[in-house]
Amino acid sequence: MTGMVILVGFLLGMLRNCSLINFQRGLGSGAVMVTGFIGVPVHELSHGIAALLFGHRITAIKLLQKPDANGVMGYVEHSYNQSSIYQQVGNFFIGIAPIFGGIACMIALMHVIIPQTYSNFINILMGNIHLETINKSTVTGMLYSYIGLVKSIFSAENFQNPYFYIFLFISICISSHISLSLADIKGASIGLTAIFFILLILNIFGLSKYIQEINLIKYNMVITSFLVIAVIFSMITFLVSLFFAALKS
């Protein structure tokens, strides 16, 4: 599952880069600051909150700035005790935090602005959590359930709700900056190495048998649900960016 998170992080990065190029092509170079005004603070605050949860000390934080020579619009610098396994593992979760922080913000917005769609998402999530096995049938069922979620987001009822467009705009801003930077991936890889050695030790001493398979399935289903939502909204953002780019051409 950790490998899937990194893989999705790369996919989100590709979608993010293509979306920003399209937005800049259609709306001008200032488009990145329009989306960044909301998206970048959410990204950096996700890093910051995760850093504090894992006992790291934040030494510097910038929630938003104009893109520098490397395109950096914000950053969180933190230090930690390298002899602490907990804090080393924390590097992985700090690195991937923007994916889950961004999705959490969008789900919270969904709850407030389009509650029926939120209810549909919760029903899908709860249904997936109660799965006891993963096979072709369950995967197909999950796929159709998320297709239904997309239809629910873009329902006629939502289009008649003026607040839906606020939700869509904020979600696009967050999705445009939800991906992981190279620095994020580098930091996460440090924690991933620590996680690998912990799992290796558990297997060597036969302790992994005490981790119930059903609980692992539930954990994986929750993570998968968040990752799917991240990809869905990033795809929506990409399609919207194509629309604006097409208008300009």
Express the helix, strand and coil content of the chain in percent, nearest 5 each.
Answer: 75, 5, 20
Cα–Cα distance for residue pair 5/168, rounded to 1 Å: 24
List the one residue out of 9, 8, 95 whose CA is nearest residue 54: 95
- Residue 39 near residue 174, CB atoms below 8 Å: yes
- Report the pLDDT value the prediction gives residue 217, as an integer from 0 to 100: 59
Burial class (CB in 10 A: 0-12, 13-18, 19+), 76: buried
Residue 203 CB coordination number (10 Å): 11
Select the more confidently predicted residue: 66 or 10: 66
**Confidence check: pLDDT of 60 > 90:** yes
Is the model's pLDDT at 238 over the cut of 80? Answer: yes
pLDDT digits (tens, 9 = 90+) for 95-146: 989 998 999 999 999 999 999 888 888 887 777 666 666 667 767 777 777 8
β-bridge partners, 57:
79
Q: For 55, left (φ over 0), alpha (ψ -120 to 50), or beta?
A: left
Quick one: pLDDT band at residue 44, thresholds 50, 70, 90?
very high
User: What is residue 212's predicted lDDT score, i.e. its pLDDT?
Assistant: 52
pLDDT class of 206 with cuts at 50, 70, 90 = low
Per the prediction, the chain carries an average pLDDT of 83
User: How does 1-25 read in b/e, with b if 16+ C-beta sit within 10 Å?
Assistant: eeeebbebbebbbebbebbbebbbb
